[in-house]
Amino acid sequence: MSPYPYFLTAPFQPFPCTIKTQLLRLLAIVTVICSANFACAHETITAGPNRGRMLSKSKPPAEFLVTAERKVQITFIGADGKPIAPADQVVTVTTGERAAPTKLTFTKTDTGLISEGVLPAGNDFPTVVQIKATPDAKASVARFNLNTSICSGCKNGEYACVCGH
């Protein structure tokens, strides 16, 4: 027996690694990184026929658009990509400063729904859109920041920007 501890004797290999072991470790690291990227992936934003933000979680899909008067227009889109008349849908939008949010309710028009009130003054507010297919149905919810600035690339409002800058 040597008077020295085993790790001071030659050759010292506390964790012998083969090429196969190193490749498996590398594969495990790449898998973890890729799965983290997919888990953090953001929803792809698409623009509707009026250049507003498409809310694809609702059935039928709806387009969220801020009008020139700072009202919110909701247009429901059919399978052919054309606007359809609203049925019994109930839409509620909550936006504005978190300390004093503004809740918008909607009335029917020929082409969709229009908010009764206007958006609060300012820009870049957290926004929650709740759409119910019928008054007693479960709501589909969309959350995003409502930035009404115009994008220099695609000319949509920033809330509906599709150029990905």
* pLDDT tens by residue, 119-145: 988 888 899 999 998 888 898 999 988
Residue with the larger pLDDT of the pair 87 and 48 = 87
pLDDT of residue 75: 92
Q: Domain extents for the chain?
A: 53-160
The set of residues, in sequence order, having a beta carbon less than 8 Å from that of 143 and lying 6+ positions away, is 126, 127, 128, 129
Residue with the larger pLDDT of the pair 113 and 32 = 113
pLDDT of residue 2: 60
pLDDT of residue 39: 47
Mean pLDDT score, 144-153: 86
Q: Among candidates 77, 46, 69, which has minimal Cα distance to 144?
A: 46
pLDDT of residue 123: 85
pLDDT of residue 103: 93
Q: Please name the CATH architecture into which domain 53-160 falls.
A: Sandwich (2.60)
pLDDT digits (tens, 9 = 90+) for 61-107: 899 999 999 999 999 988 888 888 888 889 999 998 888 899 999 99
Q: What's the whole-model pTM score?
A: 0.70
pLDDT of residue 110: 84
Secondary element (H or E) of residue 75: strand 72-77
Distance CA 134, CA 86 (A): 11
Q: Are the C-beta atoms of residues 135 and 129 closer than 8 Å to each other?
A: no
pLDDT digits (tens, 9 = 90+) for 23-44: 777 788 877 776 655 544 455 6
pLDDT of residue 40: 47
Distances (CA, A) of 129 to 56, 72, 88, 138, 144: 12, 11, 16, 13, 9
Residue 119: DSSP 8-state: P
